[in-house]
Structure 1
Amino acid sequence: MIESIEQYRQSFDDYLQKILQFGEPAGLYEPIGYIMDLGGKRMRPVLVLLSAELFGAPAENALPAAAAVEIFHNFSLVHDDIMDAAPLRRGRPTVHRKWDPNTAILSGDAMLIRAYQQLDGYPPELFQPLTRLFSRTALEVCEGQQYDMDFESRDDVGIPEYLRMIEFKTAVLLGCALQMGAIIGGAEVAEQEAVYDFGIRLGLAFQLQDDYLDVFGNPETFGKQVGGDIIENKKTYLYLQALERCGADDARELRDLYSVRPTNPQSKVDRVRQIFETCGADRQTRNQIGGYTREAFARLDTLTGNPRAKAALRDFGEWLLRRDF
């Protein structure tokens, strides 16, 4: 990642360490410090800082909003991990495994409250639009999670439904991060909408790329088990595209493969990957990633403001999507 982006990340991490000095009860607050210290890309808070600077505000003015977004994001991960019965998060035990589900639920609740508290220091003319946007986004993330859970038991999920689900689960928080920075920077409504839309398109491209790399990525660089979505029978964009494009026999076999958890999962992964390639679902997914990426940068190009911040936003977007196909 380019040096300037790393500086934004370091500035945010320094701020985060200051605000995560908790007292008692330790059973409530230690899990919060644990999940926040697991790291990650910090892409959402960096987007808040860059957007604020793009529209004329010092990046430090946006640190509380950036913290609100990042704390909320990690809160959602704590609760998602409980629902998914996930044992690991970023290579470490999940909060509900390291402690217990009740602790994870309560600490997650406290994180949501702490996220909103970060916005308390903004003046009324900023607090109201920030809180309104943040609340709308938080509810959309919950809706996206519910859609995702609903899809697990449905055999009739369509591509538009899937795209709506990943928009709510992933993309809206990127759009929110960018618009919050724009609000702090005093951007006009049209500019706020454009930078929000940049985040939505960037988030959709990022999630579809994640779907693709789960099947076709390099195990040494992807950071997760390749084929995990196939083993878990997740109805991703690749799967839905394959059902639309392949013949009746392959479609029937694909549905059968996604109805079981075999004793030899690698053979299932290999066969599903072959079907994806045969019917062109892999090519269509790459094309869609490219389309969303181009749309994202086209919206960024319409924005005026600080040239350095705008260039850094482009660099950040390119870095985010620079994962080997």
Structure 2
Amino acid sequence: MKPYIFITRKLPDEAVEGLRGNYEVSMWVKEEMPVPRERLLEEATKADALLTMLSDRIDEEVFNVGKNLKVVANLAVGFDNIDVPAAARRGIAVCNTPDVLTDTTADLTFALLMAAARRIVEAADLIKEDKWKSWSPLLLAGQDIHHKTIGIVGMGKIGAAVAKRATGFDMAILYHNRSRNMEVEEAIGAQYVSFDELIAESDFVVCMTPLTEQTRGMFTRDVFRKMKKTAIFVNAARGPVVDEEALYDALAEGEIAGAGLDVFDKEPISASHPLLKLKNVTAIPHIGSSSIETRMTMMKLCADNISLVLSGKEPKTIVNKDWKN
């Protein structure tokens, strides 16, 4: 009997054609909706491998029923949706898709920063709603980006790629990280500062930190109050690092000038979400790595990792390096 692979979201045929010849493959076909929990658990009972999304909670319950599971390949860099220690205890490999989406996500992050600063969405809506009546000196005037100070919270590979893009705008680059990134400091002159110093001095505060117990809820009302009133806050990392009620209050009361958001605490959000009622919020639906080229590469990497593990080989990108112990 061929090993069985369940894919929790509809993927293009070309992304999984390499799996179909050697394995039995099934996938959830409702493209815009996550697989129901009941179906996930049902599939896990017979699966040798799962190809999962960030929206799928892969926890003890899944591992308890997944007696045949050997690998979980997550279509993302992050893996906070997976109980990695529980997988390691059972000898299950957890794989992710690092590196391949670094530049694509950095492109989107900087685009979001620019859109929020220059009020691009507001301007586009003005025309579409037939409200552009004449030219005026301060019509939808935004903020300059060049020669400003960008503060990056989380100087991993994506944060470093965002910093590199900031050099093209002659920006001063501050960053805060768990440890200093000497390579970035030497390559582009980024300056390591405390978190408090970064939020007080930056014109653009860009969150690129992973979601951990330490970073969850780190952007509080007190943090927003310490930012410049002209500051733009950009989050292209994880929604739960931000207290959204605090962000709403800070934006509504003018404590900061605006926000560009690709992620939210609970996703997806509806049009009734309070943050979407604010004109100084530029919001997009978690599309940081969503270019055709990058997403196809991510899918292929997941498929390759599954094939390698099911063939008894080491995967290309492993999260829990102790999975065989």
Judge same fold: TM > 0.5, yes or no.
no
**Larger C-alpha radius of gyration, 1 or 2?**
2
What's the TM-score bracket when you normalise by the shorter of the two chains? Answer: under 0.3
Q: Which has the higher helix share?
A: 1
Normalising by structure 2, we get a TM-score of 0.27
Normalising by structure 1, we get a TM-score of 0.27
